[in-house]
Amino acid sequence: MQAVALRCDLGTLWTQPRVAQLLWHFLHVTDRVRVQSITWWIHADIRWFIFELQPALPDSDFSSEEELLPLLPAPVGPLPPLPVPDEPRPQATPPEIDYGVNAYLAAGLKPLTARDETLKLQAITYERKCALKKWLSLISVNFQAWEIARRALGPFEPSFACKGLVDSVRDAAGVKASSTLHNRAGPLLRYVKFWKGRGHKCFPVSEGQVYSFFKDGGDMAPTFPRSLMISISFAVHVFGLVWTDDPLRSGRVKGLVASHYATKREEVRRPAFTVEQIKLLERIVMDNGRSSYDRVAAGFFLLLAYGRLRFSDGQRITSFLLDQPDPNKPELGYLECTAKRTKSQVGMIKKAKVLPVVIPLAAVGLCWIPTWLVLRMKAGLCYGGSVPENEPILPAVAAGGGWTRVPLDVSAASDWLRQLLRHTAQVGPIKVGTHSAKATMLSWAAKVGMDDGPRRLLGFHVKTGDSLIVYSRDAMSHPMRLLVRLILDVKNGKFDPDLTRSGALASELAGESESSEGSTDEECKQVSEEERAVEEVVGEWDPGHGPDEHFARHLVSRCIHKVRDEAGSQLVCGRTISTRFEVLNKKPAFMHPLCSGCFSV
């Protein structure tokens, strides 16, 4: 008989005492089989034990684990505890964080502990639940006004009604980003609160009520009417919101929305990187004196710049392939990547396909890509072939050294980038951000006079209905040759994109608003009004906390924190309560968003 492996999943089948009982029987009770070896490891927060068994007697004829399991007698009396190590499986990690030359720490960013990493991953699920809770509350205002509710509640028994509606809303949300679901629900919650306070039903949506709301709804941000119209359209197409007439085509509604939007402040666009900043990032990648964290991060920002990628799109790269026919002539090679579910891919079918991303090895300074891939290999990050699913290309730094599985958020990445470039001159009043990377090559191409067609393909801005860039990898051949020529001209001094007069032909493709995934307003949201609408319409949402706890809210991010001490000077997450925080007199009814360091959601 061959050895038989029995696998026990502690996360779903066994508690720790049960595993102890199982092992005790194998080691001390069963006489017809003996334990050949016991191994364990942790994978995805689930502990697995493997028992490799073989018969104790030569004539044993067990052939499967089903025949072995009946040999285990029922447990009798208390059994000694079995120590289970808490450490995860050892991984290849770089050395401890060098606090002297690490821009990650200098930027004020906090490395994540193992607990922080777990909470961050849990917070992703919590964000989704909060978003679905908001939409379920909107639908419950009038079930008959939503096609999804009529379908979910109609043919089922009452006992299945709630589950059917929840599942239907979850399925309808599909792959929509949680941030998009939150942002689309916010304006509708304010709309519901307005009409509820006046004793009127607001669903189904009517053109007259929308127009009256815009006229009498009080102080609104210039972008709010447009946001509400987008939210109504979103609700119609995703959840089947019904209207009695079409407010989206009403002339007076559209005119009023345009009048409000015209008073919006000037749009802030991130400046492109200068040649000096690009060269500095390349030197950081090649500098053995810098920490491996800064070198990996600098390479990622260069990947965004030379690849013309948004930050969120760079995090969704699914494969790497280095094509370098001659190491002595790097300008002839490319790093070929694929990305999935990028923001440029609009529509279900396109999002299911991979987007070819080609990064030239040619650089304005040093050829950095091969070194960057080696650094990633030494750090235990993906560096070639397929990237494991849900693995970010730039994760957050772990407190004990190495990297976590949590993707670095866009605000932290911007702070890290600015710290790396702190010794370079700032061009204009606006600071660089992660979107400066995407704008760089497109800005240079516009300034040098490259045609619209190649520039559009380089920026993945394909015309509506044109799927050429998705289906054909060779569509980028001609634009990439033009881009390599442009990079070499900058390197050789034939063209200087930083000269002021050379920017006269820069197009709108050169600069766009800072963005990651999801959809947000450019204008600062009227958060207090929206929070009051959420509390009134949605009601309470609380993961469970004691009545004697005190809370504080960040004035900008609106994130809720837990106060550590009675003096009210420290938060549980370790931050100091500064003027950026508002200590709350009472506990918020809708506990969202929450600080992952203060709460275990």
The predicted structure's pLDDT at residue 305: 92
Q: How far, in Å, CA of 421 to CA of 440, rounded?
A: 15
The predicted structure's pLDDT at residue 330: 66
Lowest average pLDDT, out of 61-75, 353-367, 381-395, 566-580, goes to 61-75
Query: Are β-strands 403-407 and 560-562 bridged in parallel, bridged antiparallel, or unpaired?
Result: unpaired
Domain count, the chain: 3
- Alpha carbons within 13 A on the beta-carbon side of 102: 17
The listed range with the strongest mean pLDDT (546-550, 566-570, 589-593) is 589-593
Domain final residue, candidates 488, 510, 532? 510
* 297 lies in some domain: yes
* 575 lies in some domain: no
Same domain, yes or no: 307 and 398: yes
For residues 357 and 307, the answer to whether their CB atoms sit within 8 Å is yes
* 356 lies in some domain: yes
Same domain, yes or no: 292 and 440: yes
For residues 184 and 234, the answer to whether their CB atoms sit within 8 Å is yes
* Token duo for residue 218: 């009080």
* 84 lies in some domain: no
Same domain, yes or no: 357 and 455: yes
Mean pLDDT for all residues in the chain = 73
* 597 lies in some domain: no
The predicted structure's pLDDT at residue 549: 79
Cis preceding linkage at 222, omega within 30: no
Cis preceding linkage at 95, omega within 30: no
Where residue 306 falls among pLDDT bands split at 50, 70, 90?
A: very high
In this model, does residue 372 exceed pLDDT 90? Answer: yes
Same domain, yes or no: 385 and 463: yes
* 241 lies in some domain: yes
- CATH, residue 479: 1.10.443.10
Secondary structure class of 147 (helix, strand, coil)? helix
Same domain, yes or no: 255 and 378: no
Q: What angle do CA 536, 599, 586 make, to 5 degrees?
A: 40
Question: How would you classify residue 199: left for phi > 0, otherwise alpha for psi between -120 and 50, otherwise beta?
Answer: left
Same domain, yes or no: 238 and 313: no
Same domain, yes or no: 304 and 241: no
Residue range of the domain that includes 63: 4-71
The predicted structure's pLDDT at residue 115: 63
The predicted structure's pLDDT at residue 341: 66
Same domain, yes or no: 231 and 293: no
Same domain, yes or no: 134 and 193: yes
Lowest average pLDDT, out of 169-173, 271-275, 457-461, goes to 457-461
Same domain, yes or no: 287 and 420: yes
Where residue 28 falls among pLDDT bands split at 50, 70, 90?
A: very low
With pLDDT > 90 as the criterion, what percentage of the chain qualifies? 19
Question: How would you classify residue 560: left for phi > 0, otherwise alpha for psi between -120 and 50, otherwise beta?
Answer: beta
Average pLDDT over residues 339-361: 67
* 393 lies in some domain: yes
Domain final residue, candidates 230, 261, 292? 261
The predicted structure's pLDDT at residue 2: 40
Q: Of all helices (H) and strands (E), which one includes residue 293?
A: helix 292-307
Same domain, yes or no: 314 and 236: no
Same domain, yes or no: 216 and 311: no
Q: How far, in Å, CA of 161 to CA of 504, rounded?
A: 61
For residues 140 and 185, the answer to whether their CB atoms sit within 8 Å is no
* Residue whose token pair is 């529509």: 347
Convert the pLDDT of each residue in 432-484 to its tens digit: 888 888 889 999 998 888 888 888 888 877 665 554 444 455 677 888 889 99
Where residue 116 falls among pLDDT bands split at 50, 70, 90?
A: low
The predicted structure's pLDDT at residue 474: 66
* 101 lies in some domain: no
